[in-house]
Amino acid sequence: MKRIAILVSLETSKICSSIGCFNALNNRKATFERYKDDEIEVVAFFSVDDLNDNFENDEDFIKKVDRLIEIKPDIVHVAVCLMKKMNTNSSVKYTLDKVKNANIEIVVGTH
């Protein structure tokens, strides 16, 4: 069984139902096609505050990222809404660096 986490934009989640991500996941489309023969479990649907570049003082955010690492998903998917901010937003970069340093695979994209 593959244990998957999906990172999404907090800002986008205010207007997005996440139907595209879950539709692609459930139907094994787009980047989830790689699991067509696998059983999967979504272990986290994790929002990152992509407008906040001052996350260092946000203890709750740091704890949230640490918790994601603790549950050790096999793969973390970066949702379409976060793709453009992967290299420009410090909270997104921090999260992905922690994931990478924990030897958790990162897949860019969802649907």
pLDDT digits (tens, 9 = 90+) for 72-108: 999 999 999 999 888 888 899 999 999 999 999 999 9
pLDDT reading at 52 higher than 80: no
Domain of residue 45, CATH code? 3.40.50
Q: Residue 3 — pLDDT band, cuts 50, 70, 90?
A: very high
Q: Residue 51 — pLDDT band, cuts 50, 70, 90?
A: confident
Report the distance separating Cα 31 and Cα 82, nearest Å: 15
Q: How far apart are the first and last CA of the chain?
A: 21
- For Cα atoms 80, 86, 91, give the angle at the middle one, nearest 5 degrees: 115
pLDDT at residue 33 in the model: 97
Instruction: Report pTM.
Output: 0.92
**Six-digit token pair at 49?**
């505050």
Domain count, the chain: 1
Residues 6+ apart with CB under 8 A from 49: 10, 11, 55, 58, 61, 91
Structural domain span for residue 89: 2-108
